[in-house]
Amino acid sequence: MNHRNDFPILEQTVNNRPLVYFDNAATTQKPQVVIDALTNYYQTINSNIHRGVHHLSQLATEQFEVARRTVQQFINAPDANEVIFTRGATEAINLVASSFSQRFLQTGDEIVITEMEHHANIVPWQIACERHGAKLRIVPFNETGILQIEKLDELISTKTRIIAVCHVSNSLGTVNPIKEIITKAHAHNIPVLIDGAQAVSHIPVDVQELDCDFYCFSGHKMYAPMGIGILYGKRKWLEEMPPYQGGGEMIRTVTFEKTTYNDIPFKFEAGTPAVGDVIGLKTAIDYVNQIGIENISTQEQELLRYGTEQLKTIDGLRIYGEAPHKSSIISFNINNLHPFDIGTLIDQMGIAVRTGHHCTQPIMDHYGIPGTIRASFAFYNEKEEIDRMVEAVKKAQLMLQ
């Protein structure tokens, strides 16, 4: 399987070396078909949707709604109207944290999240707690980076209103047992939001099989353009939740005395949406489906295995997150060298990794470190690139020690 040539950006050199792009957890590169879909949209049918009777508007509306059905099938949502377009995972989580809480959260209530969440799945809930006088309860993880879900039983109470947890940790790579968490939560009638930002491009997701109440993700981490994301929500919740933003599209009638709201999904899609990006997302999903998410996963697991093995040959290197069920993310440090210094030096050798806290400061606090170096692989990466990274890290280590 070699689809590397589908990604024109990977052909370039950086600092006179062929680019090695290992920052896929931050954003993936875009295949030519997605770039073409964007260009084609703006060259041929760009127009505003849903409101126009003219030809271009009808074409754009049709493609927009086809894209919604493509997303529906991709995650096996029961109904396309349960698929809401947002700007990304962050906006999807904020939407639920704001609207769900407005309707269902009261003083003294509790929200359960985990110690390994991205800030995008912490801060919106903190804001909701501040607004409504509620409290956050945190499921910890152990040294290996595995959630201690046995603690969930102690943390869940009659005050718990919602549980929000990531499917895959962006810093540790851990794939969480979300099905088990959802089953536990539902036994207490508690809904569950899954932050799937790091999952959808790596593993098959079936929201009906999971029975999650909400599932959020971003297009740009799965080969689609930036600026588009998805909130899947069960109809029963979405219908009860008040709108997140007001404006055009989300209304049925407006008078100064009273406004009535549109049905879902439009109730949550105020204003002109990112039509071109939505079409780009559809193209990215078609692309992933064509290759097969299982094939993508197999390739990435092999890169993870090889990368872990090779990195471990480096003296003093420690990997953070060694759960048996992991996605293709390796976070590491070398002795007490600062991750930023290593990242900067290997960038000089054409290697793009992420350094820092990766928007997961509580994970860094858990280990008492300022940050990590994070290499995250996509299916278009190759073992030779891992060899180049390991060699570069060794060189950087020699320079810094």
Ligand X SMILES: Cc1ncc(COP(=O)(O)O)c(C=O)c1O
Show which residues are catalytic. 359
* Helix (DSSP H) and strand (DSSP E) numbers for the chain: 13, 17
Which of 31, 37, 75, 88 is in the footprint of ligand X by CB under 6 A?
Answer: 88
User: Could you tell me which of 244, 199, 243 has the C-alpha nearest to residue 222?
Assistant: 199
How deeply is 138 buried, as exposed, middle or buried, from its count of CB atoms within 10 A (0-12, 13-18, 19+)? middle
Cβ distance to ligand X smaller for residue 121 or 333:
121
In the complex, the smallest distance separating the C-beta of residue 374 from ligand X, rounded to whole angstroms, is 11
Cβ distance to ligand X smaller for residue 173 or 307:
173
Q: What 3-state DSSP class applies to 383?
A: helix
In the complex, the smallest distance separating the C-beta of residue 174 from ligand X, rounded to whole angstroms, is 11
Asked if 141 contacts 366 with a C-beta cutoff of 8 angstroms, the reply is: yes
Which of 112, 166, 363, 396 is in the footprint of ligand X by CB under 6 A?
Answer: 166
In the complex, the smallest distance separating the C-beta of residue 19 from ligand X, rounded to whole angstroms, is 21
Segment near ligand X (CB under 6 A), from 28-36, 82-90, 186-194, 377-385? 82-90
**212-231 residues near ligand X, rule: CB under 6 A:** 218, 220
- In order of 89, 91, 216, 331, the CA distances from 231 in angstroms are 7, 9, 5, 28
Segment near ligand X (CB under 6 A), from 53-61, 87-95, 316-324, 339-347? 87-95
Q: Site for ligand X (CB under 6 A): how many residues?
A: 13
195 binds ligand X (CB under 6 A): yes
User: Could you tell me which of 23, 180, 166 has the C-alpha nearest to residue 90?
Assistant: 166
What lies within 8 Å, CB to CB, of 363 at 6+ separation is 115, 116, 169, 171, 172, 320, 357
Query: Torsion angle of alpha carbons 74, 199, 211, 214, nearest 10°?
Result: -90
198 binds ligand X (CB under 6 A): yes
In the complex, the smallest distance separating the C-beta of residue 310 from ligand X, rounded to whole angstroms, is 24
> What residues does 317 pair with on adjacent strands?
334
24 binds ligand X (CB under 6 A): no
118 binds ligand X (CB under 6 A): yes
329 binds ligand X (CB under 6 A): no
124 binds ligand X (CB under 6 A): no
What lies within 8 Å, CB to CB, of 137 at 6+ separation is 110, 111, 112, 113, 155, 160
Segment near ligand X (CB under 6 A), from 7-15, 44-52, 86-94, 241-249? 86-94
**169-188 residues near ligand X, rule: CB under 6 A:** 170
397 binds ligand X (CB under 6 A): no
355 binds ligand X (CB under 6 A): no
Segment near ligand X (CB under 6 A), from 61-69, 84-92, 259-267, 319-327? 84-92
Residue 370 has φ and ψ, to the nearest 5°, of: -75, -25
Which of 67, 89, 182, 200 is in the footprint of ligand X by CB under 6 A?
Answer: 89
Cβ distance to ligand X smaller for residue 172 or 185:
172
In the complex, the smallest distance separating the C-beta of residue 359 from ligand X, rounded to whole angstroms, is 6
- Write out the residues near ligand X by the rule CB under 6 A: 88-90, 118, 120-121, 166, 170, 195, 197-198, 218, 220
